[in-house]
Structure 1
Amino acid sequence: MRVYLRQPPIGTAPLRYVQLTLAPDLFGGWELVRESGEIGGRIQLRREQYLLQEEAQRAFDKARDSQLKRGYEITPAPGGDDGP
């Protein structure tokens, strides 16, 4: 599962984005990957491991909702690949 969020343009400030990806790992757990930064600039990548899918899903939903409250909007991912 993947969601791509982008901050609406504010003046001449560079556009910022957040991409959240939730996927099973090789050991039977779940991994939440948070990628954020300026479009065309440096990025920050954080990975969180979870043993249970429900726990990982709650963390994914909480991260998504937090970004939506900050004014980010869900948009199609660049390249047209919306992922599984």
Structure 2
Amino acid sequence: MNIAQGLVSFEDVTVEFTQEEWRQMDSTQRALYKDVMLENYGHLVSMGYCSTKPRVIFKLEQGEEPWSLEEEFLNQRYPGE
């Protein structure tokens, strides 16, 4: 099997949820999301992923939700931006 290999970015392994989807998750699901996102980022860093820390990782490390209400408002008001 001939599979082309390329660089993996954080966006390739990121899962994003809307505010409504996040509200529907229970605490166990939110904790799993946090653990998986932080682990994925840790793996990329250990492989030489050199970039500024994504906002979602910073927020998760601080115990915050992965998006801000301001971001959600802007996404609803200006979809596709």
Q: After TM superposition, is the score higher than 0.5?
A: no
Which band: TM-score by shorter chain? 0.3 to 0.5
Structure ID, larger Rg = 2
TM-score, with length taken from structure 2: 0.39
Which one scores higher on RCO, CA 8 angstroms, separation ≥ 6? 1
Say which structure is richer in strand. 1
TM-score, with length taken from structure 1: 0.38
